[in-house]
């Protein structure tokens, strides 16, 4: 049943993303507003979607939590830190994280540890609680969700990451042409 809920959640988020993109394109066409060379586009990605490869090369802006609160995050490391600190603020989850320390490892390093000594890029989550962050974007988010949050029972389905990507003017024109062709 959980799998069906995740699929429905993904469907809702994808429909919202498509609707937002179509609204942007309609506004672009109606205003005739093509910015000089590039256009930064803000998008949102649900942390539960599990297609982290889509975020490679993107720049995070903020994390949006289920309660509607947003926290600015300008790097993928700050995304991981903010999410872990958010869950760590819950005393029950904090205790589970503390028990999990030193028990999850990657191929060569501890992923969640009590100190930063054996880590290449440690992120401090709390006193005596560090997360290894020497990964690319995709691996960082996968390790965060699958190796840390899921084993301790964190529900991250309501969390999304706002990010930007640069879009070249030629791509905007191609999209505008395809809209005009379909009209």
**Per-residue pLDDT at 175:** 52
Tokens (6 digits) for 120:
């290449």
**Is the Cβ–Cβ distance between 116 and 122 less than 8 Å?**
yes
pLDDT for res 178 = 54
Q: What is the pLDDT of residues 48-79, one digit of tens each?
A: 888 888 888 899 999 999 988 999 999 999 99
pTM above 0.85, yes or no: no
Residue spans of beta strands (DSSP E) within the chain: 38-46, 59-64, 70-72, 112-113, 122-126, 129-132, 160-168
Among positive and negative, which fits the CA dihedral 67, 148, 54, 33?
positive
In whole angstroms, what is the distance from residue 2 CA to residue 150 CA?
13
**For residue 25, is pLDDT > 80?**
no
d(CA 78, CA 144): 12
Average pLDDT of the chain to the nearest whole number: 83
Q: How far is the C-alpha of 70 from the C-alpha of 83, rounded, in Å?
A: 11
Q: What is the mean pLDDT of residues 90-111?
A: 88
Residue 11 has pLDDT above 90, yes or no: no
Q: What is the pLDDT of residues 116-166, one digit of tens each?
A: 888 999 999 999 999 999 999 999 999 999 999 999 999 999 999 999 975
Q: What pLDDT score was predicted for residue 88? A: 94
**Would you state the pLDDT for residue 166?**
54
Q: Is 110 exposed, middle or buried (0-12, 13-18, 19+ CB in 10 A)?
A: buried
């Amino acid at each position: 049943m959980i799998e069906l809920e995740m699929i429905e959640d993904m469907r809702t988020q994808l429909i919202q993303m498509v609707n937002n993109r179509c609204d942007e394109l309609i506004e672009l066409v109606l205003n005739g507003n093509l910015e000089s060379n590039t256009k930064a586009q803000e998008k949102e990605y649900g942390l539960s979607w599990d297609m982290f490869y889509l975020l490679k090369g993107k720049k995070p802006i903020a994390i949006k939590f289920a309660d509607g609160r947003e926290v600015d995050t300008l790097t993928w490391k700050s995304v991981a830190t903010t999410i872990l600190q958010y869950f760590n603020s819950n005393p029950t989850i904090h205790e589970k994280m503390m028990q999990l320390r030193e028990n999850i490892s990657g191929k060569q390093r501890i992923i969640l540890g009590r100190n930063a000594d054996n880590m290449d890029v440690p992120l401090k989550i709390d006193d005596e609680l560090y997360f290894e962050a020497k990964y690319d974007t995709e691996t960082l988010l996968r390790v965060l969700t699958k190796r840390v949050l899921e084993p301790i029972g964190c529900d991250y389905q309501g969390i999304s990451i706002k990010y930007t990507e640069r879009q070249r003017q030629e791509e905007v024109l191609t999209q505008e042409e395809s809209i005009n062709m379909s009209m």
